[in-house]
């Protein structure tokens, strides 16, 4: 049998143990922190600035997370101060301890949208779901018994796992040149998974800090939320991946937010594009007759979705249906119970020259 060549390689097959660090390039340390969910870890990085460190992403604000950071600071980081924290995007597993580091004297660097989203969501604490959230879930076809149960439950709040964030940060933006950890970097931002998500591309060697925008073996969640129910993150994601392709080389060592560092970035970007194009094609075929977003789970994800994954599956299903709607490939009508029924758009009749 002819062997196939996998263009995606992982030069570091094992992650560092908790509270330990692995040097993946000169002056760049890789650490891994636990997460209490199916995706059970987040990668964080430390860039050696000589008199201190720049930390990229932080993990969640939990007792265990703080204890691990204390061990990392006194161990692999040799007690030198963290001068700045750079967050790739606003999600809790990446920004959770930014405020904790700020309280210890670090400066926070982020894109404007990432900082505004993180601070806004940390301050927006709700004891029960908002009316807008309930209407959004109902419109997606959430089962009535689950909907009623969630109506009475305290929802997830950023403040549960994100430390208070003081006013003040240093903005980074697309195309900006930064000097961190003895290297010159160029900021390139993407959208879809998170608005204005920052990636860092070394101008001196082959390193790329990818956050969740560039992952080797999983595709990040593309979700629509009650805050912007008509959004099209799938279009933003596809545009971002296409935009990164001219800069990507096989030799780039990508340091991702989850899983293992990898090479073969051009092939991976094409895979990420093709994965969603394939999902859209399956979904369009499936809604030949009217379906709710929840009814689309099996064809979109091709696996069973448990209650722990239900929320992320729902927002991603809506995202793909919104893309079909906004690109003219689907239409929708309200069902009597308030759920949207999505259906493939009828093909346009050819225009006659007669």
Residue 1 lies in a domain: no
pLDDT: which is higher, 224 or 347:
224
What pLDDT sits at residue 226? Answer: 96
* Count: domains in the chain: 1
Residue 28 lies in a domain: yes
Q: What is the CATH number of the domain that holds 327?
A: 3.60.15.10
pLDDT at 99 over 80: yes
The mean of the pLDDT values for the chain is: 95
Residue 14 lies in a domain: no
Residue 196 lies in a domain: yes
**Per-residue pLDDT tens over the stretch 44-63:** 999 999 999 999 999 999 99
Residue 207 lies in a domain: yes
The distance from CA 341 to its chain's CA centroid, rounded to whole angstroms, is 28
Residue 199 lies in a domain: yes
**Per-residue pLDDT tens over the stretch 141-152:** 999 999 999 999
Residue 160 lies in a domain: no
Query: Which residue range(s) make up the domain with 214?
Result: 22-123+130-154+168-344
pLDDT-based confidence at 348, cuts 50/70/90? Answer: low
Alpha helices in the chain (DSSP H): 63-74, 92-95, 98-103, 112-123, 131-139, 144-152, 233-244, 265-286, 297-301, 307-326
Residue 231 lies in a domain: yes
pLDDT at 208 over 60: yes
pLDDT at 351 over 60: no
pLDDT-based confidence at 4, cuts 50/70/90? Answer: low
What pLDDT sits at residue 2? Answer: 40
What pLDDT sits at residue 3? Answer: 42
pLDDT at 121 over 50: yes
| Mean local confidence (pLDDT), 193-216 | 98
Closest Cα partner for 174 from 161, 190, 159, 150? Answer: 190
SS3 (DSSP) at 36: coil
């Amino acid at each position: 049998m002819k062997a196939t060549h996998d263009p995606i390689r992982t030069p570091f097959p094992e992650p560092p143990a908790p509270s330990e660090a692995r040097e993946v390039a000169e002056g760049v340390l890789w650490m891994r922190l636990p997460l209490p969910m199916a995706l059970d870890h987040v990668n964080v990085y430390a860039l050696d600035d000589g008199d201190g460190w720049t930390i990229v992403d932080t993990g969640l604000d939990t007792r265990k997370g703080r204890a691990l950071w204390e061990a990392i600071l006194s161990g692999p980081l040799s007690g030198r101060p963290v001068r700045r924290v750079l967050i790739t995007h606003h999600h809790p597993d990446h920004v959770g301890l930014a405020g904790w580091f700020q309280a210890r004297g670090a400066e926070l660097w982020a894109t404007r949208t990432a900082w505004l989203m993180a601070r806004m969501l940390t301050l927006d604490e709700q004891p029960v779901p908002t009316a807008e959230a309930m209407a959004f879930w109902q419109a997606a076809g959430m089962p009535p018994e689950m909907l009623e149960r969630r109506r009475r439950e305290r929802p997830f709040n950023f403040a549960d796992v994100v430390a208070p964030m003081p006013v003040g940060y240093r903005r980074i933006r697309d195309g900006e040149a930064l000097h961190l950890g003895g290297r010159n970097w160029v900021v390139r931002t993407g959208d879809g998974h998170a608005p204005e998500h920052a990636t860092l591309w070394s101008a001196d060697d082959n390193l790329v800090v990818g956050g969740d925008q560039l992952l080797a073996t999983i595709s990040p969640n593309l979700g629509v939320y009650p805050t912007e129910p008509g959004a099209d993150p799938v279009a933003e994601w596809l545009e971002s991946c296409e935009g990164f392709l001219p800069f990507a080389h096989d030799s780039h060592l990508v340091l991702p937010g989850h899983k293992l560092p990898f090479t073969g970035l051009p092939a991976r970007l094409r895979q990420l594009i093709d994965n969603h194009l394939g999902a859209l094609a399956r979904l369009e075929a499936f809604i030949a007759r009217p379906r709710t977003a929840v009814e689309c789970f099996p064809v979109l994800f091709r696996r069973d979705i448990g209650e722990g994954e239900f929320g992320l599956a729902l927002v991603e299903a809506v995202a793909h249906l919104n893309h079909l709607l906004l690109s003219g490939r689907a239409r929708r009508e309200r069902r009597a119970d308030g759920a949207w029924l999505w259906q493939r758009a009828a093909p346009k009749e050819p225009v006659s020259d007669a």
